[in-house]
Amino acid sequence: MNDVIYMDNNATTKVAPDVLAAMLPYFSELYGNPSSMHRFGGQVGRALVKAREQVAELLGADTEEIIFTSCGTESDSTAILSAVRANPDKHHIVTTRVEHPAVKNLATSLRNLTGHKYRVTSLGVDNEGMLDLDEYRKALSDDTAIVSVMWANNETGVIFPIAEMAAMAKEEGILFHTDAVQAVGKIPINLRELEVNFLSLSGHKLHAPKGVGVLYVKKGTPYAPFMIGGHQERGRRGGTENTASIVGLGKACELAGAWMSLENSKVRKLRDKLEEGLLASIPNSILNGHKTSRLPNTCNISFEYIEGEAILLHMDQYNICASSGSACTSGSLEPSHVMRAMGVPFTAAHGSIRFSLSVFNTEDEVDLVLEKMPAIIAGLREMSPFWQNRDKG
């Protein structure tokens, strides 16, 4: 069996060796509490200062704007609930139909919050997964407490025009949050130039460990903490810091800055080779998502007339890891909400496979996937009652 061919980096990433090395001392000898008065804890506190600088540097932010959290989901919850509390008289939130559950389900839960009759506008997307900015502008109102729009979609990699959208919200005096969990490290971000009030990121999507995240809060943005407790994070997020993971996340951000050009050269090239190869060698395969307004690492392809779980399990025989928007893999009975929002027909939605690459992938791996996929797809189609009858409708 070959080594694992990991093309599921939008699900989670490998901890980079340098990140692990940076973290290890904080699991052993450097176990002090960064809040302690003694020098022993103090040195850990200094490591957090450095990590905060590394994160701020990658985002084009100031260190006081960085709050460490436990994950992307916590950052999303904190941002949205904070804006809700800061605007007790507003009862409307604007978001999209393709958000990650961390935003989508939170927005839905707001509808049911007792005492608040929240309205949620979920903007639709077109066949390529893009938003209509006119529709967005019309959705903004005096009653809107916050806009929450993801920077890049986890399933398709489609990038939304965050700079423009944030500016439009600012004009109306509305707070703007972006879930940038998939974007950070893959595309350049400079928050100093943007009217973004809140930005969420998650460590495990950029080669730091799971269970650590960041919420960026622009200076001057009204803020109410979600985790209330000690004075950590200047009272904005209680709880003794996850020191090792924060140090790891700092290192990962430093690496991401250094690797940014690789993402957009090497990774993009590999992705393009994979994508073009698959589309060319496999009939009835369709790219999901906008061709160019897209992350350099992601490619989502539907193989018509077959089902995603079956494809993934065959790929698994070759140790190839990817994921699917099919019903069967999600545990629900319907294809993913992103595929449905894009209006991907049922013939294709159940057979959608997402490949998401990282700087650790190689050309040999792409070649192996290109070699194995056509037979997997053909084999399953051979078995599908719809394949032979496809033209009869």
Partner 1 sequence: MWEYTDKVKEHFMNPRNVGEIKDANAVGEVGSLSCGDALKLMLKVDEKEIIVDAKFQTFGCASAIASSSALTEMVKGLPLTEAEKITNEEIADFLGGLPKEKMHCSVMGREALEAAVANYRGVPVPVAEGEVVCECFGVTDLEVKRAIEESHLRSVEDITNFTKAGGGCGKCLDRLQEILDEVTGSAKSRIIPMKGPARMTTIQKIKKIEDVLEREIRPALRNDGGDIELIDVDGDMVIVALRGACGGCSRSTTTLKEYVEKTLREQVLDTLVVEEER
Ligand X SMILES: Cc1ncc(COP(=O)(O)O)c(C=O)c1O
The reply to whether 243 sits near ligand X by the rule CB under 6 A is no
The reply to whether 157 sits near ligand X by the rule CB under 6 A is no
In the complex, the smallest distance separating the C-beta of residue 353 from ligand X, rounded to whole angstroms, is 17
- Count of positions on this chain that bind partner 1 (CB under 8 A): 26
In the complex, the smallest distance separating the C-beta of residue 33 from partner 1, rounded to whole angstroms, is 20
The reply to whether 334 sits near partner 1 by the rule CB under 8 A is yes
Residue 168 amino acid letter? M
The reply to whether 384 sits near partner 1 by the rule CB under 8 A is yes
In the complex, the smallest distance separating the C-beta of residue 31 from partner 1, rounded to whole angstroms, is 21
- Structure-block tokens of residue 273: 């080779």
Shortest CA distance to 154 belongs to which of 350, 15, 336?
A: 336
Neighbours of 158 (CB within 10 A): 27
The reply to whether 350 sits near partner 1 by the rule CB under 8 A is yes
Question: Of the candidates 129, 209, 213, 296, which one interacts with ligand X according to CB under 6 A?
Answer: 213
Shortest CA distance to 249 belongs to which of 95, 26, 30?
A: 26
Query: Cα(99)–Cα(131) distance, rounded to whole angstroms?
Result: 12
Question: Of the candidates 112, 385, 391, 393, which one interacts with partner 1 according to CB under 8 A?
Answer: 385
The enclosing H or E element of 288 equals strand 285-288
- At 202, is the secondary structure helix, strand, or coil? strand
Residue 392 gets which letter from DSSP?
A: G
Terminal CA-CA length for the chain: 41
- Structure-block tokens of residue 80: 């949205």
Question: Of the candidates 156, 178, 182, 297, which one interacts with ligand X according to CB under 6 A?
Answer: 182
In the complex, the smallest distance separating the C-beta of residue 277 from ligand X, rounded to whole angstroms, is 26
What secondary structure, in 3-state letters, does 13-42 show?
CCCCHHHHHHHHHHHCCCCCCCCCCCHHHH
- Residue 71 known to be catalytic: no
In the complex, the smallest distance separating the C-beta of residue 106 from ligand X, rounded to whole angstroms, is 11
In the complex, the smallest distance separating the C-beta of residue 16 from ligand X, rounded to whole angstroms, is 17
The one of partner 1, ligand X, none whose footprint includes residue 297, by CB under 5 to 8 A per kind, is none
Give the phi and the psi of residue 322 in degrees, each rounded to 5.
-150, -165
Query: Per CB under 8 A, which of residues 253..312 are in contact with partner 1?
Result: 305-310
- Structure-block tokens of residue 211: 């269970």
Residue 96 amino acid letter? T
**Among the residue ranges 83-91, 156-164, 176-184, 239-247, the one whose residues contact ligand X (CB under 6 A):** 176-184
- Structure-block tokens of residue 75: 């950052």
Question: Of the candidates 7, 150, 187, 320, which one interacts with ligand X according to CB under 6 A?
Answer: 150
- Structure-block tokens of residue 209: 């460990």
Q: Which of 253, 299, 321, 328 is catalytic?
A: 328
The reply to whether 141 sits near partner 1 by the rule CB under 8 A is no
The reply to whether 333 sits near partner 1 by the rule CB under 8 A is yes
Question: Of the candidates 202, 232, 302, 336, which one interacts with ligand X according to CB under 6 A?
Answer: 202
The reply to whether 331 sits near partner 1 by the rule CB under 8 A is yes
> Regarding beta strands 213-217 and 198-202, do their DSSP bridges make them parallel or antiparallel, or are they unpaired?
antiparallel
In terms of CB distance, is 52 or 100 closer to ligand X? 100
Contact predicate 116/110, CB 8 Å: yes
The one of partner 1, ligand X, none whose footprint includes residue 195, by CB under 5 to 8 A per kind, is none
In terms of CB distance, is 232 or 324 closer to partner 1? 324
Query: Per CB under 6 A, which of residues 247..286 are in contact with ligand X?
Result: none
The alpha-carbon radius of gyration of the chain (Å, integer) is 22
Q: Which residues of 317-331 are buried (b: 16+ CB within 10 A; e: fewer)?
A: ebebbbbbbbbebbe
- Structure-block tokens of residue 146: 């916050």
The one of partner 1, ligand X, none whose footprint includes residue 278, by CB under 5 to 8 A per kind, is none
Query: Per CB under 6 A, which of residues 52..71 are in contact with ligand X?
Result: 71
- At 387, is the secondary structure helix, strand, or coil? helix
Residues engaged in binding partner 1 (CB under 8 A): 305-310, 313-314, 317, 326-329, 331-335, 346-347, 350, 382-386
Give the binding site for ligand X (CB under 6 A).
71-73, 100, 102, 150, 154, 179, 181-182, 202, 213
Give me the active site residues, please.
328
